[in-house]
């Protein structure tokens, strides 16, 4: 059975800290891995990763995929209170087949 597991479930840090969120997966037909940020409402897209070892970066956020060990990490440096959200990882495991993890809830304290 295809599955995506995120860790930790939740995390509390102080502004300025660096955090690493983990996403591991077991799927039979991997196509891509996606990261989303979900604040109060709609998940918003952060990154799509398809190749191992190539870091994707957007401001203070970065992500990398390891297809051999079947995981991805999302790093956030110099965290701000606006980074508080649930971060979702999803794997595209076939045509129109997306498996989502349960998310990591991040709270950044001022």
Partner 1 sequence: NAGVTQTPKFQVLKTGQSMTLQCAQDMNHNSMYWYRQDPGMGLRLIYYSASEGTTDKGEVPNGYNVSRLNKREFSLRLESAAPSQTSVYFCASSRGAGETQYFGPGTRLLVL
Binders of partner 1 among 17-36, rule CB under 8 A? Answer: 31-32, 34, 36
Interface with partner 1 includes 7 (CB under 8 A)? no
Interface with partner 1 includes 96 (CB under 8 A)? yes
Task: Return all residues near 80 (Cβ < 8 A) that are at least 6 apart.
Answer: 15, 60, 108
CB 15 within 8 A of CB 80: yes
Interface with partner 1 includes 83 (CB under 8 A)? no
Interface with partner 1 includes 49 (CB under 8 A)? no
**Residues 73, 97, 100, 46, CA torsion sign:** positive
Choice from 14, 57, 60, 97 touching partner 1 (CB under 8 A): 97
């Amino acid at each position: 059975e295809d599955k995506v597991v995120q860790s930790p479930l939740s995390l509390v840090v102080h502004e300025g800290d660096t955090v690493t969120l983990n996403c591991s997966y077991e799927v039979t037909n991997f196509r891509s891995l996606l990261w989303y940020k979900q604040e109060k409402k709609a998940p918003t897209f952060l990154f799509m990763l398809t190749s191992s070892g190539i870091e994707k970066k957007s401001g203070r956020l970065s992500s990398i995929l390891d297809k051999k060990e079947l995981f991805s990490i999302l790093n956030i440096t110099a965290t701000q209170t606006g980074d508080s959200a649930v971060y979702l990882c999803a794997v595209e495991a076939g045509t129109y087949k997306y498996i989502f993890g349960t998310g990591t809830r991040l709270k950044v304290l001022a």
